[in-house]
């Protein structure tokens, strides 16, 4: 059993948005919905950093905790998925998510949002694997075919890693060792400066 996670190496991300395009293309995500996006800190300044953000498939997912209709489930590999047939589009998950991952396809009068849509780690959703119904609702099911999420596999610089957390951490550890020094991507100096 694995513990599926994404990790974006901010020292490698070049803000090409290839992951965003790969996600949109693979899952045929509708206009206005961004399952994945690239966020840049200190854009245009020396030392700017970019990271690719989507659903982080939290171990104790706050979206699932607040869902009034309990439409979320977590696979044994830690992929957080949801059933669109149950979703009522209330938006609680959007308020609860610290990454802004839940997306809603519609913005209409009286706050009508439509069913929530989010990154599925390219694992589709409930229903028959690889079926047309599954694709229409949730997008591609690459995991069932033994493939990783399209965003990670398309990343030109291998900044975005996806897979078993132990393996992803091991790859990142190797990189840091080769670069020398401690990773300061999310470290103290990155957050608070040198002071």
Partner 1 sequence: MRLKMALMVLAGLSTMLLGACYESSEVNRYEPGVYKGQQDPLVSKLESDDELREKLNNRFDGQRDR
Q: Determine the Cα–Cα distance for residues 154 and 101; give it in Å rounded to an integer.
A: 20
Count of residues binding partner 1 (CB under 8 A)? 42
Asked whether the beta carbons of 78 and 63 are under 8 A apart, the reply is no
Instruction: Pick from 56, 135, 147, 183 the residue near partner 1 by CB under 8 A.
Output: 147
Using the minimum distance from each CB to partner 1, give the nearer residue, 101 or 122: 122
Interface of this chain with partner 1, residues 117 to 136, rule: CB under 8 A = 123-129
Q: Of how many residues is the chain composed?
A: 195
Q: Which span sits near partner 1 by CB under 8 A: 37-45, 94-102, 107-115, 157-165?
A: 157-165
How many CB atoms sit inside 10 A of residue 153's CB?
Answer: 16
Using the minimum distance from each CB to partner 1, give the nearer residue, 35 or 142: 142
Interface of this chain with partner 1, residues 2 to 31, rule: CB under 8 A = 2
Q: Is 174 in the site for partner 1 (CB under 8 A)?
A: yes
Sign, CA torsion 102/18/52/148: positive
> Going along the chain, which residue ranges are E strands?
4-8, 37-41, 49-53, 72-74, 80-82, 160-164
Residues forming the site for partner 1 (CB under 8 A):
1-2, 64-65, 69-73, 75-77, 81-83, 85-86, 123-129, 141, 143-144, 146-148, 152-153, 158, 161-164, 167-168, 171, 174-175
């Amino acid at each position: 059993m694995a513990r599926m996670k994404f990790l974006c190496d901010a020292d490698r991300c070049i803000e090409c948005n290839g992951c965003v395009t790969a996600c949109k293309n693979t899952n045929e995500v509708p206009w206005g919905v961004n399952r994945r996006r690239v966020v840049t800190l200190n854009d245009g300044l020396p030392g700017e950093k970019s990271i690719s953000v989507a659903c982080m498939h939290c171990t104790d997912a706050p979206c699932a905790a607040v869902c009034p209709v309990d439409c979320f489930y977590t696979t044994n590999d830690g992929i957080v998925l949801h059933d669109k047939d149950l979703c009522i589009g209330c938006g609680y998950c959007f308020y609860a998510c610290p990454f802004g991952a839940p997306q809603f396809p519609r913005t209409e009068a009286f706050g009508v949002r439509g069913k929530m849509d989010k990154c599925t780690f390219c694992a589709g959703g409930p229903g028959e694997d690889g079926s047309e119904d599954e694709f229409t609702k949730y997008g591609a099911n690459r995991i069932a075919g033994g493939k990783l999420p399209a965003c990670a596999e398309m990343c030109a610089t291998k900044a975005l890693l996806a897979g078993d957390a132990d393996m992803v951490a091991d790859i990142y550890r190797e990189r840091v060792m080769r670069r020398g020094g401690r990773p300061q991507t999310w470290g103290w100096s990155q957050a608070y400066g040198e002071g």
